[in-house]
Amino acid sequence: MIRLDHVTFHYEDLRMEFDVAVAKGEFLGIIGPSGSGKSTLLNLIAGFESPAAGHIFIANREVTASPPAKRPVTMIFQDNNSFAHLDVWTNVALGLSPSLKLDADQRALINSALAATGLEAYARRKPGELSGGERQRIAIARALVRDQPVLLLDEPFTALGPKLRQDMLDLVVALHKSRGLTTLMVSHHPEDARRAADRTAFIANGRILAIAPTAELFAAARDPEITEYLGL
Amino acid sequence: MRLSASLSFSLILVAIGAGLVPVIAIGFGQGYELSRLFDAYFFRVVTFTIVQATLSTVFSVLFAIPVARTLARRQFPGRGLVLRLFALPLALPAIVAILGIVEIYGRSGWLSRLTALELDIYGLAGILIAHVFFNMPLAARMMLVRLDQIAPESFRLSAQLGFGAGAFWRFIEWPAIRETLPGIASLVFLLCAASFATVLTLGGGPQATTLEVAIYQALRYDFDPARASLLSMAQLALCVPLVALTAAAAGRLQHAPALRAKARRFATDTAFSRLADGGILAVALAFVFLPLIALVLAGIGAPFAWSAIAGAMITSLFLAGGAMLLSLLLAWPLANAAARGSPLLTRLLSTAALLAFIVPPAVLATGWFVLALKAGDPPHLAPLLVIVMNALMALPFGLSVLTPAVSQSAARHDRLCAGLGLSGFARLRLIDLPVLARPLGLAAALSFAISLGDLTAITLFGSQDLTTLPALVYRQMGSYRLDAAAGSALVLAVFSTAIIAMAERWR
């Protein structure tokens, strides 16, 4: 579903190189030290960064030069996923149309996405009136209406408490399964990957040092760098 | 420290009281012969003040919006320089900028010669051009600060959602700019309502006179303190609510855009939008920089009246130096008290500093003028009054630099100093002066530059024997010796720019 073919990218002194494939329907967790290139990997796939060399394919189509809006991708950031001056409903509606010209079907779609994320009571509230977890639900609801096959999550729940983080994670996993999404999630918390990911990649110094089924990666931890990072 | 802060605070209150009390007392003493004072002239002046300030604000803000948007959207070589130079119109002495505007739009200016039209800069049109010249760059800079705060995620999100330029403006840029409008509009309105130099030089008689200038005329030409008193009250009634409004909004605004690297934008760029942005930028740059260039060109070839310039220069140095010292002496204990005091005290002290803003200089001058007359108009009082007034006018700027720096230093050093028993002069010499050298230098340079460019106090109290550089430029302009005025103005401009450049290094 997603393939990065010798994609290189330079950030300050760090030369990153990614060569990886993710299957359709897979949930890939991405862990590693900060500054190692985890977010850059997602930004390259979403089109927010352009590679120095290499090719990026999504759904068997090369998207290396495509602008973000032309890629079948939804990305959720750690924060600032919503526009503070627009209410929840409008924030979600922008996922369907930047001009907010919506027909009845689209309106119904928005309402059902709000219902699926437990936000229907907050439709007319501004994001500033909601809690951190509820604000991230706006981004998830928008991902639902956008209905893109690839979901990228960049430390989406890092700012939330442990219980809330688990609940949100479970919501994302449910969505991932019911929609048959291909999901990549960067997380500071290795246990997030453990809870949700089919496979997990460990990134350090701009390279994928290990990628394996999650249980295997955490159990074996052959690489001393991974052992060091996980504190095993 | 508490004692010196109280002293500083009391001095400010006395200075302002000495301005306000006689104004009110005279008004009542003369029983406000209302029919004489509330005449057509009074209402014309009030109306003109409000109309010109409103129009100046509307034009400044409307012009600033596309300029700020373009500066936020575009990276181009020299962008940082443009932002720095955008500070010049307000930083340069007003009279210098006004002369530059006359060189462009005046009867024999560039525009008249280019179009063969007989342009008349004196009157409402000229005042509006000058006010937009001063305030558009200020407004654009303040909007730009807000635009630069837009979260990088918003750019990514808008790129992912496929926003075009229209949706980007509607959902991201306009809401950010709209937030800044109340603060910017009230500040610009206040600056234009209280503007003195512009209206004095470009206003034409009673048809185009604001309250601030009318007070001056009532004092210096008509010797009519009662009228000055009434005009002063009208000016107070207009300015006090505005200052409150501005102060409330200003807390949320910053003035200087950060010159940092910008968040990556995913511009939906078209040939048309590039052309439009280029056009907006060209118009803005021409509007702001042509007068400055014209002034320099006119100044270089001007017949310099060196003896007059040298005399005025010495007076300027003396008065601005005195005002700088007094302003720092007042500000230092206030900043220290604010840094260590309760939040209530801090608020009180910042209000005290704002008093110099709230009470228009012409109003203060009215009271001081009356008291000086009562005291038999002692000689050598005039330079002292100019120094005190300039020090008060510079005080809010000095405090805004010093207070945060002193607070930071206090938080870092107070407990350590207490532990070491370091206090008084030893602490000042070993800790405060070295640590706070840069903010102190910046505050000093700001106060000096403000006093150096002042035309208000010197016009109110000055005379043939007491002439600063701005007063000299004004007098030369007034006697239609524009070429000589350009020479003097260039000297003043070079002098001020050197000080501003020095201050920039300490920022």
- Residue B119 forms contact with A (CB below 8 Å): no
SS3 letters for B232-301?
Answer: HHHHHHHHHHHHHHHHHHHCCCCCCCCCCCCCCCCCCCCHHHHHHHHHHHHHHHHHHHHHHHHHHHHHHC
Q: Is the pLDDT of residue B70 over 90?
A: yes
Q: Is the pLDDT of residue B268 over 60?
A: yes
Average pLDDT, integer, range B217-234: 82
**Best of B149, B155, B157, B158 to mutate (most A CBs within 10 Å, chain A):** B157
Residue B261 pLDDT level (bands cut at 50, 70, 90): very low
Average pLDDT, integer, range B473-487: 88
By DSSP bridging, strand A207-213 and strand A53-58 are unpaired
The reply to whether residue B171 touches residue A94, judged by beta carbons under 8 angstroms, is yes
Residues in Cβ contact with A133 at an 8 Å cutoff, skipping those fewer than 6 apart: A157, A160, A164, A167, A168
Q: Which residue of chain B comes nearest to A44, CA vs CA?
A: B156
CB < 8 Å to B157, chain A: 77, 80-81
Residues in Cβ contact with B403 at an 8 Å cutoff, skipping those fewer than 6 apart: B334, B335, B338, B339, B350
Hey, is B410 helix, strand or coil?
helix
Residues in Cβ contact with B399 at an 8 Å cutoff, skipping those fewer than 6 apart: B331, B334, B335, B338, B350, B353
Q: Is the pLDDT of residue B265 over 70?
A: no
The alpha carbon of residue B225 and the mean position of all alpha carbons in its chain are separated, in whole angstroms, by 27
Residue A182, pLDDT score? 95
Q: Is the pLDDT of residue B442 over 50?
A: yes
Average pLDDT, integer, range B74-90: 86
End-to-end, the C-alpha distance of chain B in Å comes to: 26
- Residue B107 forms contact with A (CB below 8 Å): no
Average pLDDT, integer, range B194-205: 86
Bridge partners (DSSP) of residue A200 are A29, A212
Residue B348 pLDDT level (bands cut at 50, 70, 90): confident
Hey, is A183 helix, strand or coil?
strand
The reply to whether residue A68 touches residue B160, judged by beta carbons under 8 angstroms, is yes
Q: Are B109 and B102 in contact (CB under 8 A)?
A: yes
Residue B327, pLDDT score? 93
The reply to whether residue A48 touches residue B164, judged by beta carbons under 8 angstroms, is no
Q: Is the pLDDT of residue B257 over 70?
A: no
Residue B356 pLDDT level (bands cut at 50, 70, 90): low
Sign of the Cα pseudo-torsion (B152, B156, B161, B162, in order): positive
- Residue B151 forms contact with A (CB below 8 Å): yes
B153 closest CB neighbour out of A67, A77, A99? A77
B153 closest CB neighbour out of A67, A80, A95? A80
pLDDT in tens, B297-311: 998 888 888 888 999
CB < 8 Å to A98, chain B: 158, 161-164, 167, 171
**Best of B149, B150, B153, B154 to mutate (most A CBs within 10 Å, chain A):** B153
Tally of CA atoms within 13 A in the half-sphere of B205 that contains its CB: 1
- Cα separation, B264 vs B501, whole angstroms: 31
- Residue B175 forms contact with A (CB below 8 Å): yes
Q: Is the pLDDT of residue B174 over 80?
A: yes
Residues in Cβ contact with A72 at an 8 Å cutoff, skipping those fewer than 6 apart: A58, A59, A148, A149, A150
pLDDT in tens, A5-18: 999 999 888 899 99
Q: Are B210 and B195 in contact (CB under 8 A)?
A: yes
Residue B32, pLDDT score? 56
Q: Is the pLDDT of residue B325 over 80?
A: yes
Give the whole-number percent of chain B exceeding pLDDT 90.
Answer: 31
Q: Is the pLDDT of residue B262 over 60?
A: no
Residue B35, pLDDT score? 65
- Cα separation, B396 vs B41, whole angstroms: 33
Residue A44 pLDDT level (bands cut at 50, 70, 90): very high
Residue B27 pLDDT level (bands cut at 50, 70, 90): low
Average pLDDT, integer, range A182-209: 91
Report which of B26, B106, B68 is spatially closest to residue B485, judged by C-alpha positions. Answer: B106
Q: Which CATH architecture has domain A23-50+61-72+148-232?
A: 3-Layer(aba) Sandwich (3.40)
Q: Is the pLDDT of residue B490 over 90?
A: yes
- Residue A180 forms contact with B (CB below 8 Å): no
Q: Which residue of chain A comes nearest to B167, CA vs CA?
A: A98
Compare B374 and B168 and report the one with higher pLDDT.
B168
**Best of B146, B155, B156 to mutate (most A CBs within 10 Å, chain A):** B156
Across the A:B interface, residue pairs with CB atoms under 8 Å apart total: 51
- Cα separation, B48 vs B54, whole angstroms: 10
Q: For residue A69, what is the DSSP state?
A: G
The reply to whether residue A98 touches residue B163, judged by beta carbons under 8 angstroms, is yes
- Cα separation, B485 vs B498, whole angstroms: 20
Residues in Cβ contact with B320 at an 8 Å cutoff, skipping those fewer than 6 apart: B390, B448, B451, B452, B468
To the nearest whole number, what is the mean pLDDT of chain A?
A: 90
Mind telling me how many Å the CA of B423 is from chain A's nearest CA?
44
- Residue B343 forms contact with A (CB below 8 Å): no
- Residue B174 forms contact with A (CB below 8 Å): no
A94 closest CB neighbour out of B159, B161, B164? B161
Mind telling me how many Å the CA of A68 is from chain B's nearest CA?
5
CB < 8 Å to A73, chain B: 160
- Residue A159 forms contact with B (CB below 8 Å): no
Residue A63, pLDDT score? 93
Q: In which residue ranges of chain A is CATH 3.40.50.300 found?
A: 23-50+61-72+148-232
pTM above 0.90, yes or no: no
CB < 8 Å to A85, chain B: 175
The reply to whether residue A48 touches residue B266, judged by beta carbons under 8 angstroms, is yes
Q: Are B212 and B362 in contact (CB under 8 A)?
A: yes
CB < 8 Å to A136, chain B: none
**Best of A48, A78, A79 to mutate (most B CBs within 10 Å, chain B):** A48
Average pLDDT, integer, range B207-233: 84
The reply to whether residue B167 touches residue A98, judged by beta carbons under 8 angstroms, is yes
To the nearest whole number, what is the mean pLDDT of chain B?
A: 84
Hey, is A178 helix, strand or coil?
helix
User: Which of A61-70, B7-16, B87-96, B324-333 is predicted with the least confidence, judged by mean pLDDT?
Assistant: B7-16
pLDDT in tens, B42-51: 889 999 999 9
Residues in Cβ contact with B91 at an 8 Å cutoff, skipping those fewer than 6 apart: B449, B496, B500
User: Domains of chain B by range and CATH?
Assistant: 1-31+301-507 (1.10.3720.10), 39-297 (1.10.3720.10)
Matching residue, tokens 């500066």? B71
Bridge partners (DSSP) of residue A199 are A28, A213
Q: Which residue of chain B comes nearest to A71, CA vs CA?
A: B160
Residue B255, pLDDT score? 45
Q: Is the pLDDT of residue B385 over 70?
A: yes
- Residue A101 forms contact with B (CB below 8 Å): no
Residue A141 pLDDT level (bands cut at 50, 70, 90): very high
The alpha carbon of residue B248 and the mean position of all alpha carbons in its chain are separated, in whole angstroms, by 18
- Residue B161 forms contact with A (CB below 8 Å): yes
Compare B64 and B24 and report the one with higher pLDDT.
B64
Residue A100 pLDDT level (bands cut at 50, 70, 90): confident
- Cα separation, B466 vs B233, whole angstroms: 29
Hey, is A20 helix, strand or coil?
strand
Average pLDDT, integer, range B407-427: 80
End-to-end, the C-alpha distance of chain A in Å comes to: 33
Q: Is the pLDDT of residue B420 over 90?
A: no
B162 closest CB neighbour out of A46, A79, A98? A98
- Residue B163 forms contact with A (CB below 8 Å): yes
Q: Which residue of chain B comes nearest to A101, CA vs CA?
A: B167
- Cα separation, B210 vs B54, whole angstroms: 13
- Cα separation, A80 vs B155, whole angstroms: 10
